[in-house]
Amino acid sequence: MKKTVLSLFVSTVLMAPAALADAPNTDLQLMPYPKEVTLLDGKTEINQDFSVYISGYSSERLDKLTQRIIERVQNQTGLLLKDPIAKNKDQATLVIDVKQAAKSDVQNINTDESYQLVSKNNQIVLSADYPDGAIDGAETFLQLITFDKNATFVPNVKIDDEPRFKHRGLLIDSSRHFVELDTIKRQIDGMASAKLNVLHWHLTDDQGWRIESKAYPLLQETSLGGQFYTQEELKDVVSYARDRGIRVVPEINLPSHASQIVKAYPNLGSGDPSTYEGTIEWGVFPPLLDPTNPEVFEFVDAIVGEMAEIFPDKSLHIGGDEPLYGEWENNTRIQKYMKEHDIKDERGLQAHFNAKVQKILTKHGKDMSGWDEILHPDLPKTITIQSWRGHESLENAAAEGYQGILSTGYYIDQPQPTDYHYRNDPIPTGLTVDDSLHAGETFETYTWRKPRGKGSDRTGTLTIITDKNGDARAFTDYAGKPRAEVFVTEYEAGKRFVGHFDNFMSYTNFVLDIEDGEIQPDTSYQVVGNVRWPTSGEKTAGSDIKNSAIPEHTRPSALPKELESKILGGEMTLWAENVSDETLAVRLYPRAYAIAERFWSPKDLTDEDSMFERMQSVSAWATVSVGLEHETSPYTMRVRLAGTTDVSPLNTLATYIEPAQYYARNWIKFNNGVYHQFERLNRYVDTLVVESYRVRDMEKLAASPTAENLKALQSDFSTVIGNHDAVVAMMKRNHSMSDSVAAAKAAYEMAKLGNALVDMKLENTTLSSKDIAKYQKQIADAAQPKDEIIVALVRPVEILLNSFK
């Protein structure tokens, strides 16, 4: 059940003490969930006499933590505290007991963040060996505050906690769309509340250079829009983050994504200076820095020197991703240099360049980190590889002795189902399905094809093995990626296959109708994220095809236990092509809490229903306690679109629709010629949360169509129908929303169909194959993106329809 903001605070935490003691630990509305939780009898009341006392080691950072706790307790309770700084330990409601100062003034990858929190005998004690543990534990304390009809309180509990991974990061891209300082600081507050500990700040790219450089001022002065952070502002952010237990790692792209660098200083590029005009377009562009030019390394030395003065963290990210080697390949001077230095190819030249950059970083006390593309055996083992291309990159890096961080599967600039992110673990696990054919088993392999919004079609194979008991297992292969298990949900050999898997960038579900060995393109599709892509293909191997065999393909490998320590953790990426200062929070939260749990909590915490319940609870808590805007900014944007504070028609429709997921929105913009920095991000779709929690619940109801569940569904369908005229009228009044009318109409048609199907179910009516085909076509039409919107309501309606088969 989707909970309202108010009722989210009233959770299973509020059970009577006896019931609480017997409840599963995940009944506590905490995220990330602690490592060990013991529920105790009783509770500690939080009232106007609440006070805090620092015991043991004290510092300015802990004093600031105390003030934040006091402010947030007041935010969460609405109480004005009488005397919130206790004079002694015995009088305090919350005692913060830190044993000693941090081992170093600057946080690092080995900072100890463990803590213990005990609530009993009308007092809460938060203990930690070092300050960073207390900072993390304070967020757990604040999440524990709840209420019932009698009081506001913290349930009595004993928590022992520490993170699973050392690196738990978030990348924020300020280069493509500038992010205001207040917004950055608010996200740092959010990161701290989710126990994230690394802000990876992407500050330079083709479209803009957002750092004040006093050595090379044209970098920021010629950036589009002229927006940048001064060095003092950057230092202030670093200090703000440190107070909250967060490291700040800057990224400066070298030698690729260099359009803005060579626009400002053409002499640093490898190509024709007359072509260096910068770009407002999104994509990957040719400019590369010239690795043979001494002035390039003078530039790098100066910039790194400035960065070292601003960012004390040991790590500096050099990017290094997506190099287009054309400028190097076509430059005779560079080709001559490669021959003279026995460099066999451009990838080797990039490693040669990076080795020189590494020496500069070492001079300034920095270690290099970068994307997959920088991995090369010639570089020292001190570098850290951040993988955007898959677990196999991490595995390869670890095997060669390098540390790694996973970002594959955590691209939250893309709308994606949260459970897809949640299932994605930073540790490579290997193939999870038996792909061998055993005695008494049969198989069939289909080669499939589906279009993409940009670029060539995606192709691959799907193999289904049926064992002697009639049970099926399946896997898919496609170019460039290792074999992956497909979880079978429906299968009739030679006729129909439905199954899903998580690929390296998205959730994918196969829905294939098969006839005479052909995948039927009119009714077959793959759902990528929430977008349907027509799929065709044919059977190319099988037990009934002479001399055929299961295809050979690369298999993923499980990381050896002894190498798991090389995986430092994971990092979400919030790229800003389709993200503005105003919409950033909607993309980031509340999903960030679920992903943070994957980085912090034990690996075996995998219950997705629990995750969704707790995430929605913490979402409301973060709005009140942390001051995040993911719940409030959509309302503000809708008020602007509607021209009135009564936006209930827009809110109602938003409950049942979603933005097109994965890269679908990017591709739609590309094909419409608006994939650039000035594409407007003020449409109705930009106000939508990434997934519909209510539709997720409706899918469960439709899958179990009891009379009670059918009536619950009918209530939702009636809501959409009753809302239709008002929302269409509101959309038509503003040209910025007029294109979204198509989505509203499709939702209306799906609600009517859903209502009719419920009536038929309640009346035990059967449907002919002709009627089913007609309704399937109606559903398929409604499922297509409309103004970049997906009518999520199609999913429970389709489940209902399939129950008639």
Q: What is the pLDDT of residues 412-465, one digit of tens each?
A: 999 999 999 999 999 999 999 999 999 999 999 999 999 999 989 999 999 999
CA distance 726 to 732: 10
Buried b / exposed e over 656-688, threshold 16 CB at 10 Å, is: bbbbbbbbbbbbbbbeeeebebeeebebbbbbb
Catalytic residue among 71, 162, 180, 322: 322
Helix residue ranges per DSSP H, 78-151: 131-144
Q: Amino acid identity of 364? A: H
Q: Residue 513: beta bridge partners? A: 496
- The DSSP output letter for 468 is T
| pLDDT recorded at residue 378 | 86
pLDDT, tens digit (0-9, with 9 covering 90-100), for 105-162: 899 999 999 999 999 999 999 999 999 999 999 999 999 999 999 999 999 999 999 9
HSE, side-chain direction, 13 A CA sphere, residue 399: 11
Burial class of residue 232, CB neighbours in 10 A (0-12, 13-18, 19+) = exposed
pLDDT at 533: 97
Distance CA 202, CA 457 (A): 31
Q: pLDDT over 70 for what percent of the chain? A: 97
Q: What is the pLDDT of residues 284-320, one digit of tens each?
A: 999 999 999 999 999 999 999 999 999 999 999 999 9
For residue 71, name the pLDDT band (cuts at 50, 70, 90).
very high
Of 665, 579, 599, give the one whose Cα is nearest residue 187.
579
- Tell me how far the alpha carbon of residue 137 is from its chain's centroid: 24
Please give the Cα distance from 707 to 223 (Å, whole number): 61
pLDDT tens column, 199-232:
999 999 999 999 999 999 999 999 988 999 999 9
Asked whether the CA dihedral 267, 273, 277, 283 is positive or negative, the reply is: negative
Burial 510-525 (b: 16+ CB within 10 A, else e): bbbbbeeeebbeebbb
pTM of the full predicted structure? 0.95
The SS3 of residue 698 is helix
Instruction: Give the Cα separation of 229 and 775 in Å (integer).
Output: 55
Q: How far apart are the C-alpha atoms of 462 and 450, rounded to whole Å? A: 13
What is the reported pLDDT for 505? Answer: 85
* Contact criterion met (CB below 8 Å) for 652 and 723: yes
The CA distances from residue 646 to 7, 290, 390, 716, 740, in Å, are 22, 57, 45, 21, 18
| CA–CA dist 464, 480 (Å, integer) | 21
Looking from the CA of 433 toward its CB, the CA atoms found within 13 Å total: 21
H or E stretch covering 798: helix 794-802
pLDDT at site 369: 97
Question: Does 1 score more than 50 pLDDT?
Answer: no
Kindly report, residue by residue over 745-786, the tens digit of the pLDDT: 999 999 999 999 999 999 999 999 999 999 999 999 999 999
DSSP letter string over 276-325?
----SB-S-----B-TT-HHHHHHHHHHHHHHHHH--SSEEE----S--T
Active site residue 322: yes
What the block records as the tokens of 450 is: 């589906």
Contact yes or no for 155/28 (Cβ under 8 A): yes
Q: Are 412 and 588 spatial neighbours (Cβ–Cβ below 8 Å)?
A: yes
Contact partners, residue 351, CB within 8 Å, separation at least 6: 374, 376, 378, 379
Task: Give the residue-averaged pLDDT of 523-546.
Answer: 97
Residues 4-59 have pLDDT tens digits of 332 223 333 333 333 333 333 578 999 999 999 999 999 999 999 999 999 999 99
| Token pair listed for 473 | 């297992």
- The answer to whether 319 and 369 have CB atoms below 8 angstroms apart is no
The span from the CA of 484 to the CA of 468, in Å, is 23
3-class secondary-structure state, position 237: helix
